[in-house]
Amino acid sequence: MTEWARYLGSGTIPMRQIVISFSLGMLATPAFFFGVLPFDVNGQPVPLKGIVSGCAAVALCLAVCQFLVVWRSYREADAGAAATGMFTFEAGERPGETSIRLPGWSLQIAMLAPVAGMFCVMWLLDPQASEADRLPFMSAGIIGVLTGAALAKATIKRRTQG
């Protein structure tokens, strides 16, 4: 099994990588608002162009963040480690650092958690509104995170193969 394949299945991910991934996921909301801002007219509903540009900003922001997090995590991870359980804690490489063995999707889920939280807040604040803002926002977040992870893993695969 190659080094890349072992990393994708499981490995040791420092808790700080998960916290960084979660924190960068919080950038989705400001990215959405900055994307919508040029099309915002006071008192008027946001036009479709505004929603599309906001979602493109979210997807681009999360793709770049996810690429950097996954790529950095791979560089720091012990790629040869085999997971013994879903939540096995162990000492990290740095003093005082805790690492956790998690499936390969943990960084993506950590980055999507703030997006899902904002989706729920949007729904709770205005449950009668149409899905014009909420579903594209969540979809753009998922697309951005998966695109960033795929690009990072393709880059990692290319480096490990030679």
Three-state SS at 12: strand
**DSSP letters for 89-151:** EEE-SSTT-EEEEEETTHHHHHHHHHHHHHHHHHHHH-TTS-TTTHHHHHHHHHHHHHHHHHH
Pick from 59-68, 106-115, 150-159: least confident: 150-159
pLDDT, greater one: 15 or 90: 15
Alpha-carbon dihedral 121, 125, 128, 132, rounded to 10 degrees:
-50
Looking at the structure of the chain, the number of domains it has is 1
**What is the Cα–Cα distance from 97 to 84, expressed in whole angstroms?**
19
- Whether 98 shows a pLDDT value over 80: the answer reads no
Give pLDDT tens digits for 127-157: 776 667 788 889 999 999 999 988 888 887 7
Q: Of the given ranges (18-32, 80-94, 98-112, 137-151), which has the lowest mean pLDDT?
A: 80-94
Determine contact, residues 8/79, Cβ cutoff 8 Å.
no
Chain centroid to CA 101: 18
* Count of Cβ atoms closer than 10 Å to residue 29 Cβ: 19
Q: What is the pLDDT of residue 154?
A: 83
Structural domain boundaries, residue 69: 3-125+132-161
Measured between alpha carbons, how far is 103 from 86 in angstroms, rounded to an integer? 7
DSSP, collapsed to helix, strand or coil, labels residue 63 as helix
Residue range 82-98: average pLDDT?
A: 43
Least confident interval from 8-17, 62-71, 116-125, 140-149: 8-17
Backbone angles phi, psi at 38, to 5 degrees: -65, -20
* pLDDT for position 30: 93
pLDDT, one tens digit per residue, over 5-38 is: 444 444 556 677 888 889 999 999 899 989 988 8
Instruction: Name the residue with higher pLDDT: 44 or 99.
Output: 44
pLDDT in the model for residue 88: 38
pLDDT band at 126 (very low <50, low <70, confident <90, very high): confident
